[in-house]
Chain A
């Protein structure tokens, strides 16, 4: 069920001749109840897939927006088990939108790879992205997730050579996340021709849908990227809405603000290819 839920989301988008919209948010930022509401807001406003960020103290691949979101979440006491229980709460209200947990290795390593896979499966999670577990190091997690039919979503990047693309593809499931530019989340984007070439390489090697992310902030960029790949990922811009809500003294408005941004991005993606 979990991997097929991801495939179904990409197929549905493709059947409407549009890219799937993958929306990222940090779980527990500013608190778990608000995150649960935010997940619903994302799904209701056009997100096809939700990437639920699991906070880590030392997010080496993230820019300032997601770093700060992680620290806000941790300051509020969020644990990995809380991320899974928030996913579960959402799954009880929504059977269609795939949930991907995105985070770093150590909290998962601490829980135990097999234990995490079992708990994620019970929570209705569909796939996992672990930024600092490259193919060479993800075997234990991969085997654990395979037991419960959860997808292992790997990153491919502009530095991934053709030979490595095969290594990345072999063992990937669900989709491949193509990082548009060598850099951290929320930074600039690469040249479109380069991105197209990278996406095609990832697609040919894996036979899976490819979603492209890092640096997509505006509806215009989202529309452009939707022409290059099967999916478009937006993260930092959505997470920034939480910060803006907090700074405006109304953190409870975060889901509404995130929903409004997601709606405009989804609209741009819906017509991006026409």
Chain B
């Protein structure tokens, strides 16, 4: 069977990936998201937009990012060859900028004069504030009050870049609450404001456009591995919070059925404890933030707060395309606890001289298992989606070391 059309046709005209996705927003926003969809389709067909985006991705972001053979980690796990896609080397230190640049260019095309964004760990906020500084656009970043406390370096970074930070204390003061507040701002300032959503979730067309802007990761990785190894990998792996870096890596490999797609969710203290952020492994389908997708929720459909050592994965939902890939069996989703992520963080730092962000540290923990399973002939690409500079203070705290 030719599966080419099977995977590539999503989302459908209703913004759905199978039974996930959609446009679950208040009526005030509906005309705008229809406009955004139209404008995005026009931009995709416009060679000038493409030239502008590609030029800045090369000269400003620093793409293509390197493909690195993690030799000592490969030796350590004594299994498949492990390659890192080095998206932590991007300007601003993570994959987030790939998407921010695309969305801000769309905002300019639509004549919007003000940018808002939500952020958890601060990586998306920093990337958005950076692109806004580059284009002279005012930028407001909503950030949970709890996250403002635990991600101080990024908060200062955003301020230096000229962004206004709004700490959100409603709910538990984390990413989901920041997203609620950003939606409230958007609905109030819909005439001049563009909402740059950081993950592959939200109402259609966001999951699609974030995926498309992030797919540069997978396209580059595919070309690079073919050049280096002369064949496709056996598995591609990434951590998953909302799932933007993972979908960006996975999407160009969807049609290559021999390539396993493996996402790693944050298991916090363990799924059985209820303190986790694993929506796919420990949640059920529901409706939040504009899309139908797997969610952490109770028996009455109330949203349960996520828990993770990593602020970037601390979200009770997941991008709708991942829900679809899980249910169809095309992708597999593993989990990693806080403790395992901390160990992987230290292991990678010591063996490779790369300090990973806590988010991809979750993926590193499972790469070892998959490498052993595949054996020495195997080949894995893992997206190292962010660097760990932002995390050194909180890691020190978790390890009981006082560096203040």
Contact = CB atoms under 8 A, between A and B. Distances in A.
Interface of A: 56-61, 63-64, 67, 74, 79-81, 104-111, 131-134, 136-137, 154-161, 164, 168, 179, 182-184, 187
Interface of B: 14, 22-32, 170-171, 176-177, 180, 183-184, 187-191, 286-290, 292, 295, 297, 299-303
A132 B25 contact: yes
A137 B28 CA distance: 15
A131 B289 CA distance: 12
B180 A60 contact: yes
A273 to B, nearest CB: 27
A266 B286 CA distance: 39
Majority DSSP secondary structure for residues of A touching B: loop
Contacts of B187: 60-61, 182-184
A77 B26 CA distance: 26
B142 to A, nearest CB: 12
Contacts of B29: 159
B28 A182 contact: yes
B188 A136 contact: no
A156 B286 contact: no
Given A111-B301, A179-B27, A184-B188, A106 B22 contact: no
10 contacts: A56-B301, A61-B26, A61-B187, A106-B286, A106-B287, A108-B301, A110-B297, A110-B300, A134-B26, A134-B30
A57 B24 contact: no
Contacts of A184: 184, 187-188
B23 A60 contact: no
B27 A155 contact: yes
Contacts of B297: 106, 110
A134 B31 contact: no
A159 to B, nearest CB: 5
A109 B287 contact: yes
Contacts of A107: 300-302
A57 B303 contact: yes
A182 to B, nearest CB: 5
A160 B31 contact: yes
B186 to A, nearest CB: 10
Contact of B176 (A58, A80, A134): A58
A270 B59 CA distance: 67
Contacts of B24: 105, 132-134, 137
A21 B23 CA distance: 31
